[in-house]
Amino acid sequence: MKTNTLITFAIFLIIILLNISCSNDDSPSNETINLENALLTKFPLSEIDYDLSGNFSISITQPHILDGVPQDKGEIKIQLPNTSISRFSLKKVEFDLSEFYISPTIGEQNISIGEIITYTITPYEDSSAYFQYDVLVTIKENSLINEKLDINAFSFFKTDHQYFSEGYYKN
């Protein structure tokens, strides 16, 4: 009798252990995605050498995130000195690209002067938890364009102009 009870108990124990070890936990992860890990604190453009172009400004307004849910878009405004470049691309980001992706992608030349483009950052684990930035690149007004320029002096040289006599005129 003791042997039958012991065998029954052993079989019952083996079944329980097998059931526990073979169970699959398909329940969703309770880990929350921290969107703040992907906030943009810089927005370098590939086409601009920031070391040589000290005359630029950038302002970044972060999206408001409440309980892990984005409430609004962020905003990035970049003001550059006069340039002949008309299209720009994001050079790099500081967040982990194995956890989040950004669209448009890094290096994609799609930022045009004066046009707002929306960048979307999405975690790979939950595509419904994305947030966005509206990006606008503008050119600084050249202050000399609006200034009145005066000619204070000029001179003529006979060697340069055969019909003029050499002289100097000052206003």
pLDDT for 161 equals 61
pLDDT for 30 equals 46
Neighbours of 63 (CB within 10 A): 19
Q: Name the CA dihedral angle for 83, 85, 89, 91, rounded to a multiple of 10 degrees.
A: -60
CATH code for the part of the protein at 35-139:
2.60.40.2340
pLDDT for 150 equals 72
Domain boundaries, the chain: 35-139
CA distance 9 to 40: 60
Q: Are 57 and 139 in contact (CB under 8 A)?
A: no
Per-residue confidence of the chain (171 residues) as pLDDT tens digits? 567 776 776 676 677 766 666 555 554 554 677 889 999 999 998 888 766 556 788 999 999 988 888 889 999 999 988 888 888 999 999 999 999 999 999 998 888 899 999 999 999 999 888 999 999 999 887 655 555 667 777 666 666 666 665 555 555
Q: Token pair of 159, please?
A: 């060697």
Q: Are 171 and 151 in contact (CB under 8 A)?
A: yes
Over 76-140, what HEC string results? EEEEECCCCCCEECECCCCCCCCCEEEECCCCCCCEEECCCEEEEEEECCCCCCCEEEEEEEEEC
Please report, in angstroms and rounded to a whole number, the separation of the first and last CA atoms in the chain.
127
